[in-house]
């Protein structure tokens, strides 16, 4: 069965960096686009970034452009999100999600909490 | 790009039908058939309920249905059950630079 398991979250000071990982299993990872989506505590969902199956096409939300970098390693069935210059408003649960290529996400991980606070 | 507009809350009694609206613009909901709906129980990850306006993934109850008219998409839950109590989010492709936009979210309460 499809599984997505995020890791790497934690407490970081403003201006700091963190790298999230998402381990995928149960499907051919290299065939699928992937996304990171976040949810601030008590708030709604916000799409963060997208990467194509080969990694050649990448998109970012305006709120993270220039600070976050999405990448993937198809040999390791893994998705990553490098987050730099973190701000308090980046505090959220970060989900990795499989993009169906139909502009929707059919599987989601359980999420990893990132807290940016001094 | 502003979030799609959803009612903050909708409630109904067991067995009733409820409808959640999701209003956007011609740049997102109205312009493309790429509206999807997600159910989220407290502390859990979102779950896909409807994709491409009205398609149900395998395993999702046929009590859930989707539709669209103009710039507004709708999710209808018929035969409301206690387990349907959750937050629901719509999402759409958008021609703006953000590519994806979510709705503001709706809390469904089963009375």
Residues of A in contact with B100 (CB under 8 A): 35, 47, 50, 103
For A:64-93, CB contacts with B below 8 A are: none
Average pLDDT of the segment spanning B65-91: 97
Q: What pLDDT is stored for residue A83 in this prediction? A: 98
d(CA B7, CA B12): 14
State the greatest distance between any 2 C-alpha atoms of chain B, in Å, as a whole number. Answer: 42
Instruction: Provide the pLDDT confidence category of residue B97 given band limits of 50, 70 and 90.
Output: confident
> Which residues of chain B does A100 touch, with a Cβ-Cβ cutoff of 8 Å?
51
A22-70 residue pLDDT tens: 999 999 999 999 999 999 999 999 999 999 999 999 999 999 999 999 9
Alpha-carbon A21 to chain mean position: 8
User: Given an 8 Å threshold on Cβ–Cβ distance, is B97 in contact with A62?
Assistant: yes
Q: Which residues contact A15 (CB under 8 A, 6 or more apart)?
A: A85, A86
Higher pLDDT, A103 or B5: B5
Pairing of strands B64-69, A78-83: unpaired
pLDDT tens sequence across B13-72: 999 999 999 999 999 999 999 999 999 999 999 999 999 999 999 999 999 999 999 999
Is the pLDDT assigned to residue B99 strictly greater than 90? no
Tell me if B105 and A62 make a contact (CB, 8 A cut-off). Answer: no
Can you tell me whether residue A88 is helix, strand or coil?
A: helix
User: Looking at the predicted structure, is the pLDDT value of residue B1 above 70?
Assistant: no
- How confident is the model at residue A20, as a pLDDT? 98
Q: Residue B56's pLDDT is what?
A: 97
A62, A78, A63: which is closest to A23 by C-alpha? A78
pLDDT band at A101 (very low <50, low <70, confident <90, very high): confident
Written as six digits, the tokens of A54 are 């080969």
What average pLDDT does the segment A70-89 reach? 98
Mutation site for A-interface testing, chosen from B4, B6, B20, B48 by largest number of A Cβ within 10 Å: B48
Q: What is the percent of chain A with per-residue pLDDT over 70, rounded to a whole number?
A: 100
């Amino acid at each position: 069965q499809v599984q997505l398991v995020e890791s790497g979250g934690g407490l970081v000071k403003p201006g700091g960096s963190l790298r999230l990982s998402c381990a995928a299993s149960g499907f051919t990872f290299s065939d699928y686009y992937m996304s990171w989506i976040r949810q601030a505590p008590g708030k709604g969902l916000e799409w963060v970034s997208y990467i194509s199956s080969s990694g050649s096409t990448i998109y970012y939300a305006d709120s993270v452009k220039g600070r976050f970098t999405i990448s993937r390693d198809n040999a390791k069935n893994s998705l990553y999100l490098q987050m730099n210059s973190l701000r308090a408003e980046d505090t959220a649960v970060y989900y990795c999600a499989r993009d169906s290529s139909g502009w929707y996400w059919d599987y989601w991980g359980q999420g990893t909490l990132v807290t940016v606070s001094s | 790009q502003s979030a799609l507009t959803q009612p903050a809350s909708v409630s109904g009694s067991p067995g009733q039908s409820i409808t959640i609206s999701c209003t956007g613009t011609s740049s997102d909901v109205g312009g493309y058939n790429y509206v999807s709906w997600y159910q989220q129980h407290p502390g859990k990850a979102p779950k896909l309920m409807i994709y491409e306006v009205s398609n149900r993934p395998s395993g999702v109850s046929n009590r859930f249905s989707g539709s669209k008219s103009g710039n507004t998409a709708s999710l209808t839950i018929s035969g409301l059950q206690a387990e349907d109590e959750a937050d629901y989010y719509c999402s759409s492709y958008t021609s703006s630079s953000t590519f994806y936009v979510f709705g503001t979210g709706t809390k469904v309460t089963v009375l």
